Each structure stands twice: as structure tokens, then as C-alpha cells.
Chains A and B, each alone.
Chain A
């Protein structure tokens, strides 16, 4: 459908759920329980119509005092009084019976008002009350259906795009009434308010919309004090197919961190995803910081660091202690840091914020530090998996190079890369960072265990963290009083066995001699 045939609601996030808008003159039914945001959605539909699309509108209320509507709207910064004075808005208080009668009347005052002000939108709050005016027998035997049909017919005749709110659960025949209204309306939006643990969560689902496709499923709805409603597309919804979408790239970029570039074969493909697995304290965050900083300084790529654990100021300070100055990059916007508390994390809105940041700042390199906090915050395996899949798919679509840090809980030996949520098969590259105990000291080492499409090294290399971040210990350099790392086997098991140097052939351990 062409853009002109669509009405944009102007409600943040809702038009993209409808893939651009709702077909003009569709009768939109918004149904839900008390407190789910129906009235607010209707008011915002009218307010945005006037202020953003120059489409005057009417609001019809049966129970709510218009004074209170104006007062509540002011809380969102919407000056409805002013719009009424400008004759772009008219809030009408009436009874369901009068409203019904008016819509059928040839000399209807309501429709006359709509015509005089050039109204293109109308919001009727509480059509369930129309049912209350009917006798129980009428209500069950088609009276309510007929009434709704008349209402919809009148609205269509006047070329008004109507939004009607229906409270679920107030009328004596509520189930039948809801089903009837659902059937007659062109577009049905279901709003929900549910308990999620001890918090309340609002959600939105489009049940149907004639004449168009839309994003199905349950999306997150939030009420923001300073703006109004905001809808966040559910993370699980797959990306829409786009012929321009790049599937992969043959461009290989240098990461700028020697430890990674050397082991992975000179750089990684643009748009690839890399999982960095290691125990706490091994240096994953340092590596992530270094990757972003090198990208911003030398590869001129804009970076994003996402953390659920550390505030931006703390991240900058910690990096500073290693001589990785992020202040300048954060100040000039070449590196963005997104911190969000894992407490009551709403994954849909969090994902939307990530996408907004990426698109706003044209991010090309992203580090998520770390995935373990997400698994704790999200709880549900399927949601966590979907979030991860969505990030990977989005990264690839944008050809953005992404690193996920994963804290492996196993300190002594790794039996699996990601024991709680096995997702390592999804990523292109897998880097292991381990602590190895040699004699009485811990050594850090790094290995690339997977790098799709790359001829990478299988060597496990020792690295140190110092000023400037991570650097590999030269192969032949014996910094410690012990033998170098290549003199041992079974490093990843964290129980290394030493070889005799004399038994090595071409640098590789051929014969194992325990000493």
C-alpha cells in the first residue's frame, strides 16, 4: 500500500509494527484490561495526528471528565486546551445513547462538528458502554452487533479514521461483545498488563489489520512520562527480507589488537561475530576495550560498548589505569557506552535502544560485555537465545563486527564453551582466554578455536596485560623463570604437562616426556 493510503499514528514504534501505518479509514479497535493504556493510546493517536500530520481530530468520552483528560495529557507535555482553542481538537462529553443516536441522525451535531473542523480522526473512549444501554436480551441477540455496525458504517461514511477503545471484562456479555467488536473492526490492537515476577509489564499485539501486513506477536509497550507511549518490537521477530541486505562480506579487516590479528590469520571478516570465552579476570573486558579503541583510533570505525555490569565512568576509569584512554573517544562520540541495569531488564526496549544507538552513530564495531549478565537478567532460555540471534542477525545485516564476551564459570578446565546457554555454534569466531597454572603462578593464555573462512592458528599463546592492554608474549621469550608456554601440553585443561625441549620437532611437541 502506498504511503498516502496509510494513516500514521505517530505513536513511537507503533507505525513500524504496522510496517508504515494503518490503512486510512480503517476502524481501529484497541481493547484491553483496566490500566493497559487504551485511553492514552487513543489520545496520543489524536494528538500526534494534529501536531505531526495536521489532521484535526475529535475525542468522544462517556465517563471520563474532559478536564481530567486535559490535565493528564498535560503531564506528557500535550497542550490539548490550546489545540481546542485552535479548533483542531474537540473533546466531546456525551452519553453512549446520545452518541449512538447522533451517528444515525441525518442532522447529527457530532458529525457536523467533525465536518466543520475538517476532522480526519476520531477517538471514542469506551464503546463497551454502548452495550450497557441495551437490555440483556438485545445485547445477546444482535442488538450490540447492530449498534456496532451502525457506528462503523457512520464512521466510514464520514471518511474518519476511528480508534475505539473497548475495556475487556466490564460488560455482562463481555466475551461475546469482544468477539463481535473484533470481527467488525478492521484493525484490532490488544493491550495487556501482566505480572512478570513482582513487576508489571505492558504489552501490545496486533490481532488483525485488514489490507496490510504487520509484525505479529507480543511487543513491549511502555508509558514514558515525558513523551507518551512507546512500543518496542519484540526481539524474536525476524528481520524483514530486504534484497539490498548484504549476507556476508569478503572484506577482511585488521582488528588492530595483535593478539587477535596474529592468531586469527591477519584479521576477521567485516560483519562477523566473535565470542570471547573466559573466566572472570582473564582480560575479556580489556580485550573488548582495546578492540574498540584501536578501531576508533586507527581503523576509523565507530564503536559501541554495552555493559550490564559497569557504569560508563567506571569503564573509562578502569581502561585509563591500563593506559587505554577512552575519554577522548567517548567525548567525541567515536565510542559509545551503553549501560543498563540488569534489574528488571526489559529485553525488547533494551534491544531497541541498542539498535537506535547503532543507527544514530553509525556503529561499525560492537562489544557486548558480557553475555552472562544477560542470561541472569533474562532468565528464560528461549528469550535469551532469541535476543542473541537478533543481535547476530542485525550485526550481519549491517556488516558490523561484533564481539560477545562470555564469562565461563569453570575455573579449572573447560568442559564446554558456554555451559548454561550453548550458543557458540551461532558465532563465526570463537576465542578462548584461559588462566593456566604453571608452578605456583597463573598465566593468561589465548587460543582461537574457531574462525569461519579463515586459516587461523591453533596455537595457544601466552599474553600479558599491561600499559596499552593485551600483548602476546613472544614465542621464544622466556620472561618467567619457568619454561615458555609451548613447553607444555594440556594447557586448556589447566593441568599442563611439560615437554622436554630437546624432544620438540620444528616447534611442535612430537614426543611427550614427563620431567
Chain B
């Protein structure tokens, strides 16, 4: 089971807890018209962390961002075109729906350094 989780995380390209938290936030909110600051406030991270993560997730083609307008953008989840990666993402999302699954993910993901982390939420 754990091996499978690690395989999925590697397949999707997620290694940090903050990456997972931001990704799952965007996934759950479908289309969010917001700012990195606002996301950071909602999930309990420093703004800088969320900004970096959003950049990385966009590069990894896991999310898409619209042009900026008055400091906000549309953030939407992107469905991976690769079937294997898509399946991995679906498995991870399913896993995060239970407490046991979320704890498992916490164990497998690297935490954000404490000096830049206000509070971490999983799921």
C-alpha cells in the first residue's frame, strides 16, 4: 500500500506536503477566483510558500492559471493527459478523503520547513 502511495506521488510529481495541500485546495474548489495570499490564509501557509507551490504546480501542468486581474487569478485543476498520471492523481485524491489516507500521505510527503509554515492542513 505504502509503495503504491509513493509510486502515485512520484507519478504525479508531488513531494512536498505544501504542494499536496495547495493542489487539493484547487481540486476541491473547481474554479477559484482568488490570490495566492487568500489561498495561504485559507490553508494556513505563508504566502511565499503558496506562491512558489503554485508556480511549480503550473510548471508540472497540474493546475492552470488565468492572466492576473487586480491581484487575483482563476486557478483551475488540469486533468493530466497521461493516463498513468491521471490514475495516480485520482488514487491520491480518493486516499485523501479518509483520515487514514491523509495520515499516510503526511508520512510520505516532506514537511514545509517550520520557519515558513504557519499551520499545515492536510486534505
Contact = CB atoms under 8 A, between A and B. Distances in A.
B11 to A, nearest CB: 23
B70 A102 contact: yes
A160 to B, nearest CB: 16
A93 interface: yes
B38 A109 contact: no
Contacts of B70: 101-102, 105
B72 to A, nearest CB: 5
Contacts of B34: 93-95, 98
A102 B29 contact: no
A67 interface: yes
Nearest to B31: A92
A478 interface: no
B32 interface: yes
Interface range on chain B (Cβ under 8 Å from partner): 10 to 19
A91 interface: yes
Contacts of B74: 92, 109, 113
Contacts of B72: 94, 98, 101-102, 109
Contact of B69 (A91, A99, A102): A102
B67 interface: yes
Contacts of A108: 69
B28 A66 contact: yes
B69 A84 contact: no
A84 B28 CA distance: 14
A107 interface: yes
A95 B66 contact: no
B30 A91 contact: yes
Contacts of A107: 69
Interface string B33-66: 1110010000000000000000000000000001
A90 B38 CA distance: 20
Interface in A100-117: 101-102, 105, 107-110, 113
Contact of B30 (A66, A98, A102): A66
A66 B38 contact: no
Contacts of B69: 102, 105, 107-109
B33 A110 contact: yes
B81 to A, nearest CB: 15
A254 to B, nearest CB: 66
Contact of A66 (B29, B35, B66, B67): B29
Interface string B53-97: 000000000000011011011100000000000000000000000
Given A91-B31, A93-B29, A98 B38 contact: yes
A65 interface: yes
B33 A65 contact: no
Nearest to A60: B33
A94 B30 CA distance: 11
B33 A84 contact: no
Interface string B1-41: 00000000000000000000000000011111111001000
Contacts of A92: 30-33, 74
B31 A93 contact: yes
A141 B66 CA distance: 36
B32 A94 contact: yes
A108 B73 CA distance: 10
Given A65-B28, A65-B29, 14 more contacts: A66-B30, A67-B28, A91-B31, A92-B30, A93-B32, A93-B34, A94-B72, A95-B34, A95-B38, A98-B72, A99-B33, A102-B70, A109-B72, A113-B31
* 7 closest residue pairs by CB, A with B: A94-B33, A93-B29, A66-B30, A93-B32, A109-B69, A67-B28, A92-B31
